[in-house]
Structure 1
Amino acid sequence: MVKVLFVCLGNICRSPMAEAVFRSQVNEAGLADRIEVDSAGTGDWHIGKPPHEGTRQILKQYGIDDAGMFARQVSKNDFQDFQYIIAMDDMNVKDLAQWFPEDRKVEVKKMLDFVPKHAGGNVPDPYYTGNFQEVYEMIDEGCQRLLQVIREEQGLN
């Protein structure tokens, strides 16, 4: 089983959006039995809360299910359990460093590293900007390209 973890600051806007979008794409590709998806936040402010209303609205607009999703915080075990950890911005990558175990098996990458026109960029936080549509478009494209990479690297057809 290939395991993918999306990470943002509070786990209520960007990372749950990426989790839901990616899970939908994995299901459409017929790979739900081969790829497991989760999300987490670097902060603990929203633990146990559902995704932000703006995230839920944009997912509903695109017919993507967010049922059963609740915020959680990253743990050191995540670095052993997941083969792909995808952060939304530079600060998330920096914050994740506090959880890096010395024997970690995974390299943290940013979502937009998979989108050539935005390579190296950051997914803006709609909690502050309010632009859930822009974030959805970035995440949708990033997830599509991430799925291609995983299929190639893991030999999934």
Structure 2
Amino acid sequence: MAASSGKSVLFVCLGNICRSPIAEAVFRKMATDSGVVDKWRIDSAATSTYEIGNPPDHRGQACMKKHGVSMRHVARQVTKDDFMSFDYILCMDESNLRDLNKKASSVKNSKAKIELLGSYDPEKQLIIQDPYYGSDKDFETVYEQCARCCKAFLEQHS
């Protein structure tokens, strides 16, 4: 998908059906609109096994459709290879960050820079809360945070 000289980013949350596939789709659209999508490898994954094989949450899909962002993803768990093959692993909250740093410590050739996606938020909202038990409004909040953070991340790394 990406050229060998390209960059890569993996978005991660607990189940890979709400926050991380939203971030992945938002970033892919921004990279496409900026004409740089072919320079990036973009994916998302989960720290848990809860939702492996499932599509994104229907509320997240509805939110993305409302914003004209296409979303095609099947939930998967983070692998050891991800730490060796992605430049950036951007996660949503402290629990994801702890889990990822723990997994990365067992990978010999880990090269990924593991960060909170919210660390790129110009509005300084560091944590992107899980909307799973929330309302449509919570998915909208996740979309807005991901849009701000992905824009800043793309600008900083393009």
Using the TM superposition, give the Cα deviation of residue 106 of structure 1 relative to its aligned residue in structure 2, in angstroms: 1.8
- Give 1:149 deviation, angstroms: 1.2
Match of 1:6 among 5, 11, 23: 11
Q: What is the TM-score when the length of structure 1 is the normalising length?
A: 0.91
Residue of structure 2 in register with 1:154 after alignment: none
Whether 1:148 aligns to 2:155 is yes
Given candidates 44, 66, 69, the residue that maps to 1:64 is 69
What is the correspondence of 1:1-157 to structure 2 with a 5 Å cutoff? 1-67=6-72, 69-100=73-104, 101-118=107-124, 121-130=126-135, 131-151=138-158
Pairwise CA distance, 1:98: 2.9
Residue equivalent to 1:155: none
- Count residues in correspondence: 149
Structure 1 segments unaligned to the other structure (5+ residues): 152-157
Query: Could you give the per-residue CA deviations for residues 77-132 of structure 1, whole angstroms, max 9, x where no partner exists?
Result: 1011100110011110001123211431122011110013225x210100023311
Distance 1:125 1:29 in 2: 28
Deviation of 1:54 (Å): 1.0
RMSD: 1.1
- Structure 1 ranges of 4+ moved more than 3 A: none
Unaligned runs of 5+ in 2: 1-5
TM normalised by structure 2 equals: 0.90
